[in-house]
Amino acid sequence: MTPVTRRRTPEELLLQVQAEEEREARGRLKIFLGYASGVGKSFRMLDEGRRRAERGQDVVVGSIQFPASPDVETLLHKLEVIPLRKLDGIDVMDVPSILKRCPRVCLVDGLAWNNPPGAVNASRWQDVRQLLDAGIAVIASINIQYIAELQDQVERITGKHVNQTVPRSFLFSADEIVVVDAPPEMCMDHSGRNVAGDVSGLARQLSELREIALLFAADVVDHQLESYLKQNGIAPSFGTQERILVCVTPRTSAKAMLESGKRNADRFHGELIVAHVRQGQLTTEDRAALDRNLEMARQVGADVEILEGDDPIEAILEFAHERGVTQVFVGHGLESKWWHRWTGGPVGRLIRGAQGIDVRVFPQ
């Protein structure tokens, strides 16, 4: 059969031309997204500015958050900085000076910063929008706790409330978004203390925050793709089907695993499955704990399965391959050594036998 190509209507062609003209006139926006303090988003932003300046681009720094790390201070000395100006005794980005200077690229830290009353714009992200409308490209940084629609979710994890926010719709307008990743030991505040009290608590907290950041970045990319398809009159013809298997036992801290699995399943319109491999005679305490975990799974809408098998790992792998599972969530204690955890023991066997299935280990 000869494929039939549908011609776009004059209205569709006009919309495409207008979108292209607007895109050419507007400055490009790039976001460095962090999931916790100390991941290095400000450094990454400034380092990209340094590289662009060395290639001959006209780059200025519009704002930076202080106190800054020594690495950030070193980069600042290599870049032109537009000083902040005082408004009612509060530092604000000097938008008129930046517009007059008209650089090709402006680096903006602290995207969620609130301006004082009397400022032209109520928030710094609106200052950035003004720069973009003037044709100036902006590279900015932000932590997920400052995204308005994620604020409550992040606050439940960190226990910290913030009053400065940026709407998701503005971040969806970004031309590029980069998640800045870092190991937990780098996520320290400026006094050198861990952001969480103990290693296992820190690892669990950062794991949850990192997942939120990655999913949000995926949403931004999806929005970019949808906008492109709409502007070019292309109908989407793809879909994603995730099947997430959460493995629970009486000693599993199921709440974090189920919440994470539910977010992933909802995000990708996938299926959430919870499985328990039947064990020998359980104590009354273990039976009660298992019942609570399974009831929690039913409450979030998971498909609950009780598996049989002398070897729990083999039972899980066989079930996962039969059901077309794409991700397996398991819990594991942090007391064992890293080498043993990843190369030996049940978790190591599960990872080696997964064969194309992603395995995520939750610290218990």
% of the chain at pLDDT higher than 70: 80
For the chain, domain boundaries? 14-231, 243-363
What are the percentages of helix, strand and coil residues in the chain, rounded to 5? Answer: 45, 20, 35
Q: What CATH number matches the domain at 243-363, 3.30.360.10, 3.80.30.20, 1.10.10.10, 3.40.50.620?
A: 3.40.50.620
- Rounded Cα distance between 136 and 198, Å, is 44
Residue type, position 153, single letter? Q
Query: Highest-confidence range of 20-24, 207-211, 326-330, 359-363, by mean pLDDT?
Result: 326-330
More confident site: 2 or 59: 59
Q: What is the DSSP pairing of strand 90-92 with strand 105-108?
A: unpaired
Is residue 340 over pLDDT 80? Answer: no
More confident site: 243 or 192: 243
Is residue 100 over pLDDT 90? Answer: yes
% of the chain at pLDDT higher than 90: 43
DSSP conformation letters of 20-55? HHHHHHSPPEEEEEESSTTS-HHHHHHHHHHHHHHT
The tally of CA atoms less than 13 A away on the side-chain side of residue 21 is: 6
> What's domain 14-231's architecture?
3-Layer(aba) Sandwich (3.40)
Q: Mean pLDDT, the chain, as a whole number? A: 83
